[in-house]
Amino acid sequence: MSQPFTFVLGGAASGKSAYAEQLVTSAPPPWTYIATAQAYDTEMASKIDIHRARRGPGWVTVEAPLTLPSALATQSSGVVLVDCVTLWLSNLLLAETDPEPETRALLDAIKAAPVPVVVVSNEVGQGVVPAHALGRRFREAQGRLNIALAAQADCAVQIVAGLPNVLKGAP
């Protein structure tokens, strides 16, 4: 039997990560944070540092910028937070990896997880049409991934201006 799966979706800087972290820490530890970000520049390194500091002690961090499904499959206790599938997907596309089989593997890993899972993602469908082909490919792939995650989730929450809007189920 699979464990509860919560999908947290929102725009950039909407408060979705902080909300997801609060959701996870409402359960007893251990808490595992599967990080997908890569620090390609000082701005991103700073953002990663801010996220780490906000989480504080008590979290186990697993770095999985490309190997999210297998990292998730190794989790066996506590609650797992994946932050975020948007960066994971962009990492795949930049590595010229086909996202379709990776997306199926991620959905299977979530379904098989013996622990509760919270996944954070960006809503990209309300912005402008990207000017470049890679940007349009990313937006389409992210939209399909979000639709699949929301369909599989027991609970889906949209964060707008730091406020949760429950779309499906109960957090």
Q: How far apart, in Å, are the Cα atoms of 21 and each of 25, 103, 121, 125, 157?
A: 6, 23, 13, 24, 13
State what percent of residues in the chain have pLDDT above 70: 99
State what percent of residues in the chain have pLDDT above 90: 79
pLDDT band at 157 (very low <50, low <70, confident <90, very high): very high
Give mean pLDDT, residues 9-29.
Answer: 94
Q: Is the pLDDT of residue 128 over 90?
A: no
Give mean pLDDT, residues 124-133.
Answer: 86
The residues annotated as belonging to the active site are 51
**3-state secondary structure string, the chain?**
CCCCEEEEEECCCCCHHHHHHHHHHCCCCCEEEEECCCCCCHHHHHHHHHHHHHHCCCEEEEECCCCHHHHHHCCCCCEEEEECHHHHHHHHHHCCCCHHHHHHHHHHHHHHCCCCEEEEEECCCCCCCCCCHHHHHHHHHHHHHHHHHHHHCCEEEEEECCEEEEEECCC
pLDDT band at 1 (very low <50, low <70, confident <90, very high): very low
CATH number assigned to the domain covering 5-168? 3.40.50.300
pLDDT band at 125 (very low <50, low <70, confident <90, very high): confident
pLDDT digits (tens, 9 = 90+) for 82-111: 999 999 999 999 999 999 999 999 999 999
For the chain, the average pLDDT equals 93
The pLDDT of residue 2 is: 61
The pLDDT of residue 44 is: 84
- Domain residue spans in the chain? 5-168
d(CA 43, CA 45): 5
Q: Is the pLDDT of residue 55 over 90?
A: no
pLDDT band at 68 (very low <50, low <70, confident <90, very high): very high
